[in-house]
Amino acid sequence: MLSAVEMKARMRGDLLGALKAKRADEIAVLRSLLAAIDNAEAPPIDTAPAFGTSAEVERLLLTEAQLREVLRREMEEREQAAEELARLGQGDHADALLRQAEIAARYFTPDAGTTG
């Protein structure tokens, strides 16, 4: 699997392609995954700089396991929501979420470091 920096670069490239092709589901998923990774890289609030210093703080470096956990969580949230919507008779919405989970799974799988 790629490092978080490499994965984000790959996702940004894929996002650009999705934007050009107007693939709404893919755009939504990639933006969400990038935001989830960015949030996971944010340092805890208690490590923020004191008054009078730069507002910029160094981001955390995610391990491969942490990155996989972020991606797994994003994928599973969509799958669980799809199951609930299907149970409630909202098949169209459930199908859309399952498509989004499939897109997220592209980045979670062990061969996520390869193109495709």
CB 36 within 8 A of CB 4: no
Sign of torsion, CA 26 111 64 4?
A: negative
C-alpha span between 2 and 8 (Å, rounded): 9
Q: In terms of pTM, does the model score above 0.75?
A: yes
Six token digits for residue 28:
């939504």
For residue 12, the model assigns a pLDDT of: 97
CATH number belonging to domain 4-43+61-108: 1.10.1510.10
For residue 112, the model assigns a pLDDT of: 59
For residue 113, the model assigns a pLDDT of: 47
